């Protein structure tokens, strides 16, 4: 297949709406770019359905084929409503295309960039769905390795989809098997500090899973304050910076002021603690599984659901006052002349 690919993708003209891929997929419009390729919304002319087209760019042809093939096989193993379905991997006119299901909606990155305010309950729902996707993927020994807002899609129906498994790692802990050499990839600002000193030849699945959980903690922070949890240059993130960040979070906990719902102090404290556990610089002290993260969310939700309702409280106080007044009146009545 590699011999059929164009060696210089940068010289390939931009894809315009109406362009047909393999005489079957008509490009509707460009959605965005990331993970080594461009993503388009397209129409499958044969089956009359909307699909996603990922145009694989960058690197030599052999590398592109290998990377796209790895991603296709990984996603094909993950049949989950929160992960796009893979349909095909094809070469057309010297270009490699990855065909998947398409999500009508916006990326979390776009939503945050536009400054949209969410309710606390909605933010918690998104985090729960992300946690469930990671629990499913980790259960099949697949670590996404690039969790970030631009790879999280919020559909028009509100459902959450985790996309771009292009740098996912499939690792096994079976005796005698080790992952081969690999390039450590990801997005600065969402990478756990220990990644920078990791030896790709000595990784195990548990390590990579904890990297996902670190990034999930950063996303959690993004959702609450619509910003990164540190002002330092993302390129300079190290273990020392991560430790400083933890201390900063302890001294200045993330505010939930950007969330529309009123959040009690006890809930804010629990949220801060969960974020800090996710972003713990020491991987041994970090949250160890998606299931543990989901349990933390359940505890926070239970605290939030138990918060006093002002209307109910006001009604309760009014009733209490009325009962007290009635009781006082009855008591006084015993002493009044009959």
Q: Specify the 3-state DSSP secondary structure of 338.
A: coil
Summarize pLDDT for 12-34 with one digit per residue, the tens: 567 899 999 999 999 999 988 76
Q: How far apart are CA 78 and CA 87, in angstroms?
A: 13
DSSP code per residue over 14-74: PP-TT-EETTTEEEEEEEEEETTEEEEEEEETTTTEEEEEEEE-SS-HHHHHHHHHHHHHH
Host H or E run for residue 121: helix 120-139
Look at residue 56 in the predicted model and tell me its pLDDT.
79
* Phi, psi dihedral angles at 100 (to 5 degrees): -135, 175
User: 293, 273, 280: which is closest to 131 by C-alpha?
Assistant: 293
For the chain, what are the domain ranges?
A: 2-101, 105-305
* β-pair type (49-56, 25-34): unpaired
pLDDT in tens, the chain (338 residues): 444 444 444 455 678 999 999 999 999 999 887 656 788 999 999 999 999 998 877 666 666 666 667 777 777 788 899 998 888 888 888 788 889 899 899 999 888 888 787 888 888 999 999 999 999 999 988 888 889 888 999 999 999 999 887 666 665 443 334 443 344 566 767 878 777 676 666 667 788 889 899 999 989 888 877 666 554 444 444 555 555 665 666 566 556 665 666 788 888 888 888 988 998 888 899 999 999 999 999 999 999 988 765 444 444 444 344 444 434 443 333 322 33
CATH topology of domain 2-101: Phosphorylase Kinase; domain 1 (3.30.200)
What does each C-alpha distance from 2 to 11, 59, 64, 88 come to in angstroms?
Answer: 17, 12, 8, 16
Q: Which of 294, 73, 278, 75 is nearest to 163 (CA)?
A: 75
Count of CB atoms situated within 10 Å of the CB of 234? 13
Element (H, E) at 211: helix 205-225
User: pTM value?
Assistant: 0.76
The predicted-structure confidence for 311-326, as pLDDT tens digits, reads as follows: 444 444 443 444 444 3
CATH number of 105-305: 1.10.510.10
């Amino acid at each position: 297949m590699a011999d059929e690919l164009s060696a210089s993708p940068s010289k390939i003209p931009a894809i315009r709406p109406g362009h047909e891929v393999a005489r079957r997929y008509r490009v509707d419009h460009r959605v965005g770019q990331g993970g080594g390729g461009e993503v388009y919304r397209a129409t499958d002319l044969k089956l009359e359905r909307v699909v996603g087209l990922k145009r694989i760019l960058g690197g030599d042809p052999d590398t592109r084929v290998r990377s796209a093939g790895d991603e296709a096989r990984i996603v094909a193993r993950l049949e989950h409503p929160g992960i796009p379905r893979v349909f095909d991997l094809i070469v057309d006119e010297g270009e490699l295309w990855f065909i998947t299901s398409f999500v009508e909606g916006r990326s979390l990155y776009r939503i945050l960039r536009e400054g949209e305010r969410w309710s606390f309950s909605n933010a918690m729902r998104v985090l729960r769905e992300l946690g469930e996707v990671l629990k499913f993927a980790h259960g099949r020994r697949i670590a996404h390795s690039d969790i970030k807002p631009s790879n999280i899609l919020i559909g028009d129906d509100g459902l959450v989809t985790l996309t771009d498994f292009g740098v996912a790692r499939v690792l096994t802990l079976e005796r005698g098997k080790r992952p081969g050499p690999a390039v450590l990839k990801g997005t600065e600002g969402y990478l756990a500090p220990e990644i920078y000193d990791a030896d790709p030849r000595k990784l195990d699945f548990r390590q990579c899973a904890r990297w996902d959980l670190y990034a999930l903690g950063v996303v959690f922070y993004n959702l609450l304050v619509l910003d990164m949890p540190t002002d330092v240059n993302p390129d300079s993130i190290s273990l020392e910076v991560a430790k400083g960040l933890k201390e900063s979070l302890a001294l200045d906990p993330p505010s939930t002021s950007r969330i529309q719902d009123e959040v009690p102090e006890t809930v804010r404290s629990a949220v801060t603690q969960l974020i800090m556990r996710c972003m713990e610089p020491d991987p041994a002290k970090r949250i160890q599984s998606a299931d543990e993260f989901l349990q933390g969310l359940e505890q926070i939700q239970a605290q939030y659901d138990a918060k006093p309702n002002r209307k109910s409280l006001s009604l309760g106080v009014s009733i209490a006052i009325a009962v007290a007044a009635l009781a006082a009146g009855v008591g006084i009545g015993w002493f009044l002349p009959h």
